[in-house]
A and B are shown apart, each in its own frame.
Chain A
Amino acid sequence: MGGALKQTLQTLRRIASGLSERTIVALIHLCGISAIVFVFGIFFFVFREGSPFLRDIFDFRSFFLSEEWHPTSVVNRRYGILALLAGTGSVTVMAMLVAIPFGLGTAVFLSQFCGRRTREALKIMVELLAAVPSVVWGFIGLMVMNPLIVRLTGAPIGLNVLNAGIVVGLMSAPIIVSIAEDAIRAVPDTYVEAAEALGATRWQLVYRVVLPAAKSGLLAAVLLGVGRAVGETMAVLMATGHSIHIPFTAEAPFFHPLESVRTLTATIAAELGEAPRLDTGPGGIFPVEARHYQSLFVIGMALFAITFLISVTADLIVKGIRRKA
């Protein structure tokens, strides 16, 4: 009797362990596939929501090349995102002007010029910087930078490209620092030794050997920073001034960093909550066609395309460098 019970227990245990093995394998597979599923899922959803707009009234010229964005106007409804593109572009450029020198400089300093203890301390600081929530950055832009810029430059309003550019630049810098530092530390010691033996000074070593050897990693770092800047929403919503405006003119100076702009991401964040879908809202009050709602998803597709282009470019450049190397 006892023996039979023991045997049954053993069989049960064997079945259980076989099951758990299979479950774990299945779970791991699921995790691996989920990344692909999520990307396609997001793309599908964005596309589905925006597709009626694309099908019915989308027109390349009036969408991409017009700066008139009046999605809620009753008499003159316009969906032109040129100003929003210009806003995203100008904030990104300004942010990179801040983040690239800052980020690469910090990475070079961390990996080449400072002692071990300083490096550890600084790295923790950089990680803390990366952990600051974007709404806090937006708050800094709104409450700290805003009056500062007004006082220093005499601009009528401190919520502008400069403000958002600095804020987003400081947000992207930690990413650039950590990836660029990894890239620099991956440069073989033998390169450094060889250059030292040739009598290179510290700076000649960095400039002529270390940076060229790490360039594909540095480029990847910069492009990830660009991606972060393009996608940033909350901070730019608070720091740009959120006004539809193109900060460029044909006559010099061409670029006006002290003017307010609005970005693609901020537009989606600010307007999506108020743009009704077809099947929501008490019947009759809202416009029958949810064009505004759909157009925001088309903006989302445009953002998708921009970030996709950036990462493909990065990939191609990095591969190009590899092939030459």
Chain B
Amino acid sequence: MVNNVKIEIRGLSVSYGLRPALHGISLDIPARGIFAIIGPANSGKSTLLKCVNRTVEFERGARVRGEVRIDGVNVFRSGNVYALRRRIGMVFPLPVGLPLSVYDNVAYAPRMAGLRDRRALDDVVERCLRQAALWEEVKDRLTSLGTLLSGGQQQRLTIARALSHDPEILCLDEFSIAIDPVTTMRIEDVLTQLKSRMTIVLVTNLVQQARRLGDLTCFLNRGEVVQVDRTAMIFSDRPGNQLTYDYTRGIFG
């Protein structure tokens, strides 16, 4: 996987008040492909994602140093944070159906971007729901509230919504913790299909999920990068780092 670099992270440090979350980490995330991030709780995985789309700024007392460059442009210097966020799809751990209809949930971002044409919106909604493997289940109830769907459906709705503004980067933060294994598998298939078109950053607590999906895997611990390598390498018998070996084997402690 020697692609051109999509996201460059340089010396990124984040602290919440006095509590540090990331210690000057540097990473290159290549364009197109799945970049998996694993690590124990409090290792800074979610914080890293929040820096990419700058939602870290909503956290109370968050202080950020260093750079996150997307296509060479530092996001913290970008004047229009809304335009930045529209280039990035974000999926949170728990499904968040906005209190709108299924259709409006997906059409939300395109509408904000100024798309008004009914037929164009219909197309976007159908395409995104199909991409998120949800279309067949909801095509007859597009007008019912998104919050009425089951948890797994809502999470796929969230993914459809994240895809609706055609993002260059899709960030998923432990997307599978609230859904069943079968749905997880379906979404994983979706991600595998999508990775040829966009950069996917997958934060996961499930080591095996990173192993199944990641092209590259990054192991974070205590706010520092322990190892970044091809996934096969990370999960091999000799990853070259004792911590990584222990963590992927589940004998970390």
Report which A residues bind B (CB closer than 8 A): 190-191, 193-201, 204, 208-209, 212-213, 324-325
B interface bracket (residues with beta carbon within 8 Å of A): 20 to 34
Q: B165 to A198, Cβ gap below 8 A?
A: yes
- A interface secondary structure, majority: helix
Q: A208 to B112, Cβ gap below 8 A?
A: yes
Q: How far apart sit A208 and B162, CA to CA, in the bound complex (Å)? A: 17
Q: How far apart sit A125 and B242, CA to CA, in the bound complex (Å)? A: 62
Add 12 more A-B contacts to A200-B82, A212-B100 (CB < 8 A).
A190-B94, A191-B99, A195-B108, A197-B85, A197-B90, A198-B90, A198-B108, A199-B84, A199-B85, A199-B112, A200-B108, A213-B99
Q: Contact string, B20-63, partner A, CB cutoff 8 A, digits 1/0?
A: 00000000000000000000000000000000010100100000
Q: B82 to A201, Cβ gap below 8 A?
A: yes
Q: B85 to A198, Cβ gap below 8 A?
A: yes
Q: A199 to B165, Cβ gap below 8 A?
A: yes
Residues of A within 8 A of B147 (CB): 325
Judge whether B83 is part of the interface by a CB distance below 8 angstroms. yes
Q: How far apart sit A221 and B113, CA to CA, in the bound complex (Å)? A: 32
Judge whether B156 is part of the interface by a CB distance below 8 angstroms. no
**Minimum distance in angstroms from A213 CB to a CB of chain B:** 4
Q: How far apart sit A204 and B84, CA to CA, in the bound complex (Å)? A: 16
Q: B99 to A209, Cβ gap below 8 A?
A: yes
Q: How far apart sit A220 and B77, CA to CA, in the bound complex (Å)? A: 44
Given contacts A197-B53, A198-B165, A199-B165, contact A191 B58 (CB under 8 A): no
Q: How far apart sit A325 and B83, CA to CA, in the bound complex (Å)? A: 31
Q: A198 to B96, Cβ gap below 8 A?
A: no
Q: B85 to A191, Cβ gap below 8 A?
A: no
**Minimum distance in angstroms from A185 CB to a CB of chain B:** 15
Residues of A within 8 A of B195 (CB): none
Judge whether B161 is part of the interface by a CB distance below 8 angstroms. yes
Residues of A within 8 A of B112 (CB): 198-201, 204, 208
Please count the residue pairs between chain A and chain B whose beta carbons lie under 8 angstroms apart in the complex.
Answer: 67
Which residues from 83 to 104 on chain B have a C-beta closer than 8 Å to any C-beta of chain A?
83-86, 88, 90, 92, 94, 96, 98-100
Residues of A within 8 A of B58 (CB): 193, 196
Judge whether B228 is part of the interface by a CB distance below 8 angstroms. no
Q: B161 to A196, Cβ gap below 8 A?
A: no
Q: B96 to A191, Cβ gap below 8 A?
A: yes
Q: B99 to A199, Cβ gap below 8 A?
A: no
Judge whether B176 is part of the interface by a CB distance below 8 angstroms. no
Which residues from 67 to 90 on chain B have a C-beta closer than 8 Å to any C-beta of chain A?
82-86, 88, 90
Q: How far apart sit A197 and B90, CA to CA, in the bound complex (Å)? A: 6
Q: B92 to A198, Cβ gap below 8 A?
A: no
Judge whether B158 is part of the interface by a CB distance below 8 angstroms. yes
Given contacts A199-B109, A324-B145, contact A194 B98 (CB under 8 A): yes
Residues of B within 8 A of A190 (CB): 92, 94, 96
Q: A209 to B85, Cβ gap below 8 A?
A: no
Q: How far apart sit A200 and B109, CA to CA, in the bound complex (Å)? A: 8
Q: How far apart sit A204 and B112, CA to CA, in the bound complex (Å)? A: 7
Residues of A within 8 A of B158 (CB): 194
Q: B109 to A325, Cβ gap below 8 A?
A: no
Q: How far apart sit A190 and B111, CA to CA, in the bound complex (Å)? A: 20
Q: How far apart sit A194 and B141, CA to CA, in the bound complex (Å)? A: 22
**Minimum distance in angstroms from B232 CB to a CB of chain A:** 32
Q: How far apart sit A213 and B83, CA to CA, in the bound complex (Å)? A: 25
Residues of B within 8 A of A209 (CB): 98-100
Residues of B within 8 A of A204 (CB): 112
**Minimum distance in angstroms from A16 CB to a CB of chain B:** 52
Residues of A within 8 A of B83 (CB): 199
Q: A191 to B92, Cβ gap below 8 A?
A: no
B144 and chain A: residue at smallest CB distance:
A324
**Minimum distance in angstroms from B111 CB to a CB of chain A:** 8
Residues of A within 8 A of B145 (CB): 324-325
A213 and chain B: residue at smallest CB distance:
B99
**Minimum distance in angstroms from A183 CB to a CB of chain B:** 13
Residues of A within 8 A of B98 (CB): 191, 194-195, 209, 213
**Minimum distance in angstroms from B151 CB to a CB of chain A:** 13
Q: List 8 A-B contacts (CB under 8 A).
A: A190-B92, A190-B94, A191-B96, A194-B90, A198-B162, A198-B165, A199-B112, A199-B165
Given contacts A194-B158, A199-B109, A200-B112, contact A325 B99 (CB under 8 A): yes
Q: How far apart sit A199 and B169, CA to CA, in the bound complex (Å)? A: 13
Q: How far apart sit A311 and B136, CA to CA, in the bound complex (Å)? A: 42
